[in-house]
Structure formats: structure tokens, C-alpha cells
Structure 1
Amino acid sequence: MIVGIDLGTTNSLVAVWRDDSPQLVPNALGSLITPSVVGLDDQGQVLVGQAARERLQTHPQLTAALFKRHMGSAQEISLGARRFRPEELSALVLRSLKEDVERAFGEAVTEAVISVPAYFSDAQRKATRIAGELAGLKVEKLVNEPTAAALAYGVHQKDRETSFLVFDLGGGTFDVSILELFEGVMEVRASAGDNFLGGEDFDAALVQHFLSSQRQDKAFPDVDSPGLRNRLRREAERVRQALGQEATATFSLAHGGQQWEQVISQDELQKICAPLLERLRGPIERALRDARIRVADLDEILLVGGTTRMPLIRKLAAGLFGRFPAMQINPDEVVALGAAVQAALKQRAAALEEVVLTDVCPYSLGIETTAQFGRMYEAGHYLPIIERNCVVPISRVKTIQTLHDNQTQVLLKIFQGESRMVKDNIALGELSIPVPPRPAGEVELDVRFTYDNNGILEAEVKIPATDEVHSLVIEKSPGVLSPEEVRRRLAELAQLKVHPREQLVNTVLLARLERLYQEHLGEVREMLAQMAGSFQQVLGTQDTGRIADLRAAIEQRLEELERSPWQ
């Protein structure tokens, strides 16, 4: 069985193709959305999703979020005494989604199409594939999130030529892609984006604004505490969402017997977020320029990603494009639905007409060279071999020569980026190639880059003088695990104990009660403590009926409390 997965910075979803349409699959709590949060409980068992998210502020040392932003890097994240790579944490999320589908349909899930930001680098794409492998999934296909959104909207089923732009602003990344449909071919004309711009950054701006307003108050607590930082971020998210419905919202923090509040209006939010809104313009302009298309020639604008719910984002999009964008499909769900459509296309589902998808290489890819200026030589220059927004799959070759007499080695350094000097681009790896010792410039090397539909770069170097061909194995690609390392970490993950699924709904409620207890004071705190104590007592009886009844009553009371959190 093959599934489509939206592995998001903030939330993740899984969908399957059933009854000639994509269907989202709920998790153990009955929710379609699983927070991309992983933690360990007090017994060292793994928690994934809402249960882990509830413990972010109460047990920050045992909980991790936003690890997608570190995919493709060598960074490790500590959960208690254990250290995890971003791929491993992502694998635990993927494994949880895989198990949700297997329990729902009683079939083994063996393969997945996973969505990635269009602007993900080679290393980030490889890390995503490895995360799938660690989760026990075969990942032959990665689909760019904007392309998945277009598939979900059924753009591929239209019988006329159509051009459209996908504006995808999620929790942690921003992508913009321009696509065209003609004669059953969906072609990505251009992609651009920012891998560090999303809803989390808008929340961070709100937190910073709130902290600046309290700077003069000497009683204000130390915000270096991880638990307090997570509380502030959660409150910022609540305020941002509230401002989507109301003219004003109150940012509040209770700590140490005191409470601090600040009223924020929609106009103030726009001023606070002005630098972030300005950053959205650059990728849009670059994509339009690279695609050689005018805004007036676009047939549709699709808004994708939960952050596009913000009125100021919709207002910005309407102003930039001179029309109201399409949001008929839930922006949180559209990418997962599209990934399921891609999975069905991969399976050649009978209900889907044949559609050919083409994509582009989001970055320029090249090598370091030495430039000659008269009699002077300067190292560190960038020679692009594949330029950004070329249609993939693509293969390009460029010829270089040796620089020194009797040179016996050429060190080929590979980079991605758009800057003239390699120091300002991202190093992907390097390969040392033996060459025959001859006078400078006499030995030529044909360097061929091949970039496939999954965004994976391969390179080979041919020396015409000897007919030798060297396949490029990137030995120093930052953040990419070796096959041996993958096998070792797969064995380690298999030994982790996962919190029992049947207890998860009760674990989430206890974690929520603990979080709210820390957030509140006085009578509300006493009430929460009594609820938690009563629920733990009933859990001890193992009477499923009594547990379910009390859980429902407590959840209803908590919903009322969180709608008016400082009443």
C-alpha cells in the first residue's frame, strides 16, 4: 500500500487514494492533523503528536519541535540523555502516520510519496528520503508541495491551457511556484522560496514585540527558560489565530503570581510583521521573472499552508496579484491530499487520466573554478553547470582544464546557490580525481551534472584523454547520513519503546491539564489540580466507561477555559 504524506514543520498529515478520491486518515485521537512534535514520557517511551506538543512547556528537556528546519544538517537534538538527528525525529512522525493508516485499513503500508518544500536543497531531500527509510517506508518519489497542491485542486483535470501560481506559506517554509498545464502536461515553470520563513516566524515576531513592551518591568521573568519560551510561543500562536477572527486580541502571560498583558490589534500585527511580509515579495518576484510571465497572464492563484489563513497574508496576496486567491480546499490539508493523488498516479489509478508532471531545479548547481584576469588568477569563483529553474530531469556538461603543469589531481568541489563566489554558496561535497601529468591546460575534464525528478543530484567526470569516467560520490555532504550510519540508527530506533496507542487519549488529557495548571493561577489552578487528581483516580479503576465519561466532561470544561484563557 502506498500513501501520500505531508511532513510539515508544524503539523503532518497522511492521505490515501480510496474510492476514486484522496482521503485523509485520522490519527489515534481522531484528528486529521498530527503535530510534528516528538518527546519522551516519564518512563522513556516515545510520544508523537498532540501528547508531545502538550509537554513542550512542561517538559521542554524531553520534547522537540521544528526539527524539519534542521533537515539536511548534522545538528543533533537532545531529549533527556538521548540525542537524535532531525531525520530520526521525522522518522518517528512518519512511523506514527504509517501506523495510523495500517490500523484504519488493516493493510501494511510499504511505500510513501512525501511532500517537500520546492526550495529544499539536495541534502534536505536526501535527509527526507532517509527519514522515510528509518520509518520503514520505501520513498521512490518526493513531490514538491506546490505541485501537490495543484494536484489536489484538480488543475491537471482541466481541458484547457492554464497557468497558475501557488503561494505556499506553512509553519516553517515559504514556497512560490508557477505552473502551466497544456495537453495533459503539468509543467513547473519556476520555483523560489525561503526555507526559514513561516508561521513560526510570525509567532516569534509577536513574542519579541510583547517582550519589548515589558522590558522596563524588572519583575518580568527570565525568558531563557525553555518552558517559558514555549509558553510564549504558544500564546503568540493563539493571538495570531484570534486576530484572524477579531479586531484585537490580548497577549497574556502569568508567572510567579503575576500577570502581564498587552492588547494587540490587526493594524499593529501588520506593523509587527512588516519585515516578514516584505520577505514574501522577493521569491514571488524572482519566480515571475524566471518564468517570464506577467501577473496578468496567470489564470489562478492558489493559497496553500495554514499561515495563509491570516487576513494580512490574504490581503497581501490579493494586493500583489490584483484578485482574490483560491482557498476552496482547507490550506492545512491540500498538500497531503495532493500527495495522495501523486501516489495514485504512481500506481496508475484507473480513475485518473494520464498526466505528465515536470518540475524544475530550484537552485543553480555548479563547481568551484579559478578565474583568469590578464596574468592574474583568482580561486573561489562559481561556475554554474545547471542553472536554477531548468526543467528536470536534466543533464548538463561543461568542460574544465587543469591549471598547473604536471598536475596529478583535480579537486572538484560542488556547490549550490546563486552567488558569484563559492564562499557565499552552499557546499554539497567534493571529489578528488586523478589526472595524467601534462602541461597546464592540456588535460580536459567533462563534468556532467544530472538532476532527476526527485531533486537528487548525480555527477560524473570524464577525462577524454584517457576515457576514464569517475562517478561522483559526495563524501563530505553536510548532514547526509552514510548507508552504514542509516543501518545503525535504524537498529537504535527499533529498540525505542513507543507509548501505548490505546492510552494516548488519556495521556494527552493529563499533559493538557499539567500545561494549563502551569499557565493559570488562583482558583483556576486549584480547579485544574482537582480535575487532574480525579482523573488519575478514575484511571486507576480501569473502568473504561467511567474513564470515558469523566474525560469527556473534563475536555468540555477545558475547551470553555481555553476559549477565555484568563477568565
Structure 2
Amino acid sequence: MPTILGIDLGTTNSSCAVYDGRDVVIIPNDRGSRTTPSVIAVTGAGEILVGESARNQALVNPRGTIKNAKRLMGSREGLPLGSRSLLPEEALSYVLRQLKEDAERYLATEVNEAVITVPAYFSEAQRRATRSAGKLAGLTVRRLLNEPTAAAIAWAWAYNNNLKNPDGENHTVLVYDLGGGTFDATVLAMRGNDSRVISTAGDNRLGGTDFDELLLKEALAFFEEALGRDSIAGDPVLIQQLSDLVERSKIELSSRDSVTLVLPFAGLKGQAHPSWTISRSYFEGLISAHIEKTLELSKQALSDGGLSIKAVDRLVLSGGSSRIPLVRRRLAELFGLEPEGRVNPEEIVAYGASVFAALSAGVGGDFKVQDAVSRSFGLEIDGDVFIPLISKNTPIPVQKSRIFTTVADDQSTVEIHVLQGESKRASENLSLGRFILSGIRPCKRGEPRINVEFSIDDDEILQVRARDLDSHLEQSVTIAVESEEPGSDRRRLRSLIDHLSSLLDVAQGDRTLEGELEETLASAEKLLLSLEHDPPGSPDHRNGAAEMELTLRA
């Protein structure tokens, strides 16, 4: 049987695990650590570094280092890495490849498959980007598993004694997942070895990294008051050094009442090593608004599931930031519960992913998990109206359809604009893609019947099919990743043009290479010109396929 890894691809740290037939093993990296920093770097010689080696040199090479790439997953924004530019999924593929190599070294066998976890509130575009990262790393991604679901599986596995003696009782479990870059609150109904996601809420831009930034801002203000304006902010090496100190101090404040930050040799005579002492209470004051937001999202998840706070009888913590004393104190005050133990919060997601990987391969038991979609999926109709076909928290896999019609007489084409979100206004939701259904017979508006079908698989990957019920013409599409950052394609093209121009200078004298570079440069400039003249979404950019901005109505 092939080895299937369970991978927790985190914002700040990543880890992997495997079920060996008896228990779950957290796989150490080549340095013996059970987690690997989600950091990549390039040296002056062009060598790619991943993990601790990349993080350790960030102080002297900040412009050649990428951190927190997970926060940009699903966008097309290029991340600078020395003279190169990588998409977020390309950057994280290096982290996944490192985990794969560490696993192969530790297990002494080839590893080609994995279950990779994602935040429950990841969009469809972000999920596709994660799959792409796995493929680039040489992995077949058997399943994308929501991180809180993985944490719940890990807890259930440990609680039920490896599922051999399930207690058979009903439990309502809240998984509070506060990681380095994201937050999810997920409510599950569990009985023995059956688990069902009831609801989820979250924020893809809320986590320990935000706490670091708040503390860094305060530290920067203190040291620059002592050393002079821009004395640190204007020095990338010093700002990176202070960032590292801030992150370590935040972690120490979970077990100490105060901590002192020291910037060695940063000061003038008489103050060669300036320092700043911060108390836990001061830090808690800085982050309290963020923690309260996580509690509000937890209550929202319960409300969406039609449950009260009192309905929760098990509290499972996931993510390193869940160790912060303020988090545990506020959760105890709100729910009246102590968090479940048995699994390390930093390892619980990889642990659960490995259990799920084993179960999906028919090993280890008959634990059943039914997940739910984290966002609503639908399409745009006339008047900037969003019509959801699959509502948030619907169990998956799922398939739903609805009949639509045209908005103009003799309309021969319709544009299907697929969206994800909760707003009633289409323009306020995330655009996932567009496609055209043509060949509609000429008739009065409102007469054609167009059946639009949405289906979502276990990975929350969406497929859309549109069919004219009169002509039986049909178009179907697996929605491609669409940029969440308007203009990012043009920015990447400009960056490529600049890079090609610099290469031309270096290639002088080599006529063959010069010719190839000039041809590529001309093509890139022509494409950039067309994008700036006919931006994505314009009728010309869509080759005139849709003559109307909105072509459907319910």
C-alpha cells in the first residue's frame, strides 16, 4: 500500500505525519524538528533554501526571503525572490517538496501522495492554488481537508482510543483553530466514529502574524524614539532582526509575565544595546480586539448552525496561537469548558490529516467524516443580483441546479458569471470565473430555459454546467483560479519586461540569444498593451462573445 502523508501547510510553520498501522508518527525534518518554517529563500549563488536555513539567513537577506506566502494563496500577485518572482503556490511548493523529501528520508520509501489541509474559510481559488502547489512539489493530492475537521479527527482518534472503543455518545464539538495567519471556528456533531460538520466561520487574515505586527509597531516606536527616526525602519537588516525578536517574545509571553527585547549593538555610545521590556498584560491589551473577534466568529458559527453556546460540550484547540493565555481564559469564560488535551495544538492538524489519509486508503478503521462548504456559491443575474445555488454550510459533496432565462429579445448567448460569497450584491462577492453558452434560438426574452447546475466535490472544488433545454446545447467548466488582485497580471508582465530588458544587456554579442530575448520581449510588450487597452472583463477582451454585461435573470 502506498504511503500517504498528512500535511499541515501552515502560514508560519508546516508539518507532516503518517499513520504507520499502529499509531500516528509526526515526521521530523532533516534537523530533527517536528515543524518546518514555511519560509523559502535564494542565496547570492542562486541556491534555494527552505525551512530553518531560509529563516536563519533572513536577517542578512530580507529581499531574498519569502514568508507568509499562504496569506496570498489564490491571488496572482508575484512574490519577489531575489531577481525572480514567484506565485504564492510556487513558493509553497518548495515547502511541500521539503516535507516530501524529509518523509522519504525518515520512512526510507518513496512518497507520492498526500492529504493537505487548508483553512475551512479558504476560497475556491485558494483551494485550487493549494492543489497546484502539491502538484508542483511532485505530490498527488488525494484530498484537501479543512484544518478544523482534521483537528476534530485527531481529537476523536485519541478520545476514542484509536476508534476501537467509541463511547457512542453524542458530542457537539467546537474546534477553535487560531494559527499563524488564519482563524477558523468549526462546529461538528460527533457520535462514536461518525463526524459531521454543522457550520463554520472564519477569517483568512487573522492569526499570530497579526499579533506580531502589532507588537512590532510598538517596539519600533520605542526603539526609534531612543535611537532616532528611521534608524530601524530604514534598515532592512535591523527591521528583520526586530521582527524575529518580536515573534520570539510573543511566544515567551505565553509562559512568562514579562520579556525584554534587546537590539545588540544598535545604539550609540552609552546605549550600545538598547532594550525594551514588555509585560504579558500589555501584550494582551494589544491583541484583545483580535481575540474578541475570534470569539464573535465562534458565536457566529454556532448561530449559523442553529446552536447555543451551552450546546458545546467539547472544546478542541488548534494552532500555536491558541496557547496564548488570554485565548484560553476568554474561551473558558465564554463556554465554561476546559480545552481537550491528548494532542499538541501545533501538531493536531497534521495528526488528523494522517489519520484521514489512512482511513481514505481503507486502513485504521471506519471513521466517517462529512464536511460542509464554507462559502455560498452562485451566479450573477440582471441588476447586480447574486443568486446562490449552493448555500454556506451545505454538506458536501453536493449538486444543485436552477432554471434561468434571457433578459433581451433574440438573445443568442448568455454569460455565466460564477461567484462565491454571502452578499446579495454580485459585485461585492468573489468572482470565480465566467464562461459563455451560445447558440440559443432566437425568441422573446424570458422564453429560453437555461439549466445551470453547480456541483462541489469533497475538496470544495466547483464544477458548473449550463444547458439550453430547448436546443440541448451545453457548456461545462471546472472553474479556474481567477485573480483576487485587479491588475496583478499587468504588474507581473511589467516585471517580466524589466527582467528581459536587463537580460538583453547581459546577452550583448550573442546574436542567437539576443534574437530570442528580443522576440520574447516584443510578445510580452504586445500582450501588456492589449491588457491595458482592453482590461479583463471588457467586451473586447472576451472577444465580443457577450454583447450584454448581464445576460441572465431568474
Which residue of structure 2 aligns with residue 463 of structure 1?
468
Matched to 1:421, the amino acid is R
- What is the 5 A alignment of 1:29-44? 29-44=31-46
Partner of 2:126: 124
Corresponding residue for 2:23?
Answer: 21
Give the SS at the match of 1:360.
coil
What aligned pairs does 1:488-507 form with structure 2 within 5 A after superposition?
A: none
CA distance in 1, matches of 2:195, 2:309: 19
Please, which moves more after superposition, 161-170 or 182-191?
182-191
8 Å Cα contact 2:6/2:350 also seen in 1: yes
Q: For residues 460-539 of structure 1, what are the structure 2 equivalents within 5 Å?
A: 460-474=465-479, 477-478=482-483
* Counterpart Cα distance in 2 of 1:339 and 1:474: 26
Aligned residue among 401, 414, 428 for 1:397? 401
Q: How many residues align?
A: 471
Unaligned runs of 5+ in 2: 486-554
Alignment of 1:436 onto 2:436:
no
Describe the shift of the 1:218–1:108 C-alpha distance in structure 2 as closer, same or farther (beyond 3 A): closer
Residue deviations 1:153-182 (CA, integer Å, cap 9, x gap): 125733222220100001111011111123
Distance 1:301 1:286 in 2: 16
Q: Please point out which of 184, 193, 210 is paired with 1:175.
A: 184
Q: 1:334 to 1:476 in 2, by over 3 A?
A: closer
Q: Determine if the alignment matches structure 1 residue 310 to structure 2 residue 310.
A: no
Contact residue 402 and residue 443 of structure 1 kept, 8 A: yes
Once residues 267 and 297 of structure 2 are traced to their aligned partners in structure 1, the CA distance between those partners, rounded to angstroms, is 44
Aligned partner of 2:48 in structure 1 is 46
Aligned residue number for residue 360 of structure 1: 372
Give the 3 Å change call, closer, same or farther, for CA 133–475 of structure 1 in structure 2.
closer
What is aligned with 2:355? 341
Matches within 5 A, 1:244-259: 244-254=254-264, 255=266, 257=268, 258-259=272-273
Matched with 2:423 is 419
Shift of residue 224, structure 1, vs aligned partner? 4.6
Provide runs of 4+ in structure 1 moved above 6 Å: none
Report which stretch shifted further, 355-364 or 320-329: 320-329
Aligned to 1:562: none
* Distance of 1:473 and 1:303 partners within structure 2: 35
Matched, 1:384 2:377: no
Partner of 2:195: 186
Task: Find the aligned partners of 2:352 and 2:426 in 1 and give their Cα distance.
Answer: 36
Aligned to 1:205: 214
- Give CA deviations for 1:84-138 in whole Å, capped at 9, x if unaligned: 1111111111111111111112211010011111111111111111111111110
The CA deviation at 1:230 is 2.3
Q: Cα RMSD over matched residues?
A: 1.9
Question: What secondary structure sits across from 1:190 in the alignment?
Answer: strand
Aligned twin of 2:414: 410
Q: 1:457 to 1:64 in 2, by over 3 A?
A: same
Return the alpha-carbon distance in structure 2 between the equivalents of residues 297 and 115 of structure 1.
27
> How far, CA to CA, are the matches of 1:479 and 1:109 in structure 2?
33
Q: Secondary structure of 1:151's match?
A: helix
In structure 1, how many angstroms separate the alpha carbons of the residues matched to 2:235 and 2:357? Answer: 43
Match of 2:137 among 135, 138, 141: 135
Q: For 1:262 and 1:476, locate their aligned partners in 2 and report how far apart those are by CA, in whole Å.
A: 45
Tell me what 1:227 maps to.
237
Q: Is this contact kept in 1: 2:254–2:325, CA < 8 A?
A: yes
8 Å contact from structure 2 (residues 437, 475) kept in 1? yes
| Cα deviation, residue 479, structure 1 | 7.0
Q: Greater CA deviation, 99-108 or 357-366?
A: 99-108
Native 8 Å contact 2:195 2:368 kept in 1: yes
Shift of 1:424: 1.4
Q: Choose 315-324 or 176-185, whichever is displaced more.
A: 176-185
For 2:197, the aligned partner's letter is V
Give the direction of change, closer, same or farther, for the CA distance of 1:422–1:224 in structure 2 (3 Å limit): farther
The aligned residue for residue 96 of structure 1 is: 98
Greater CA deviation, 168-177 or 215-224?
A: 215-224
Deviation at 1:318, TM superposition (A): 1.2
| Structure 1 residues 475 and 239, CA gap change in structure 2 (3 angstroms) | closer
* Contact in 2 for aligned 1:431/1:473 (Cα 8 Å): no
Asked if 2 retains the 8 angstrom alpha-carbon contact of 1:77 and 1:86, the reply is yes
**3-state SS of the aligned residue for 2:414?**
strand
Residue 218 of structure 1, CA deviation: 6.5
- 1:288 and 2:282 aligned: no
Contact 2:463–2:479 (Cα < 8 Å) also in 1 = no
1:339-392 C-alpha deviation (Å, 9 max, x unpaired): 11011001111xx2212210010001111112xxxxxxxx21111111100111
Residue aligning to 1:81: 83
Matched, 1:320 2:320: no
Distance (Å, rounded) in 2 between the aligned partners of 1:353 and 1:12: 26
Decide whether the 8 Å contact of 2:104 with 2:110 is kept in 1.
Answer: yes
Q: Which amino acid aligns with 1:289?
A: S
Say whether the 8 Å CA contact 1:430–1:476 is kept in structure 2.
no
Moved more, 198-207 or 352-361: 352-361
Normalised TM-score (structure 2): 0.82
Q: Would the alpha carbon gap of residues 236 and 476 (structure 1) be closer, same or farther in structure 2, given more than 3 Å must change?
A: closer
Q: 5+ residue gaps in structure 1?
A: 371-378, 481-567
Q: Is the 8 A contact 1:430 1:475 kept in 2?
A: no
| Equivalent position amino acid for 1:43 in 2 | A
How far does the alpha carbon of each residue in 1:219-241 deviate from its partner, in whole angstroms, 9 at most, with x for none?
Answer: 14141544333222211112212
**C-alpha separation in 2, matches of 1:473 and 1:308:** 36
